[in-house]
Amino acid sequence: MSTYYGYDVSCTRGMKSGRFVSGVELVAQAYYRRLTTTRGTLIGGEEEQNYGLNLMSLIGRAATPSFAASLPGKIENELMKDPRTESVKATVVSTTAGPAVTYTISIEAKTTLGPFTLVLAVSAVSAEILGIQ
């Protein structure tokens, strides 16, 4: 049996009116929003209050080796809250350029639509999608 997640307006850092996404790209964009939303900022019930893990905020507070080692587990726990996710594995690599630290985060996810990889670049001031495959 095939699963269909519908479609929605493309929305990462801002809505792109007229551009729609579906399938694993829809889920990948939902992951991006989940990882850039501060927990407790959505209005609603308990589920909304437990939504989000703002990586930019976390990175801005602590850029230590132990922090980098804890990131994959935090990311995986947050993304497993999405009911479309069957499994997820996050890999984090940090790069330092002067005082700035950037994390390249590779997320290997499996959904009922199949697997995909989402790659993000995250620093204390920005988060961007580098690729969805």
Structure tokens at 75: 């990311």
Per-residue model confidence (pLDDT) at position 67? 81
* 17 φ/ψ sector (left φ>0, alpha ψ -120 to 50, else beta): beta
DSSP-assigned beta bridge partners for residue 120: 105, 129
List, for residues 92-114, the tens digit of each pLDDT value: 998 888 888 899 999 999 998 89
List, for residues 56-88, the tens digit of each pLDDT value: 998 877 667 788 889 999 999 999 999 999 999
- In the chain, where are the structural domains located? 7-132
Fold of 7-132: Nuclear Transport Factor 2; Chain: A, (3.10.450)
What gap in Å lies between CA 38 and CA 76, rounded to an integer? 16
* Residue-wise burial string across 87-105, b where 16 or more C-beta atoms lie within 10 A, e elsewhere: ebebebebeeeeeebbbeb
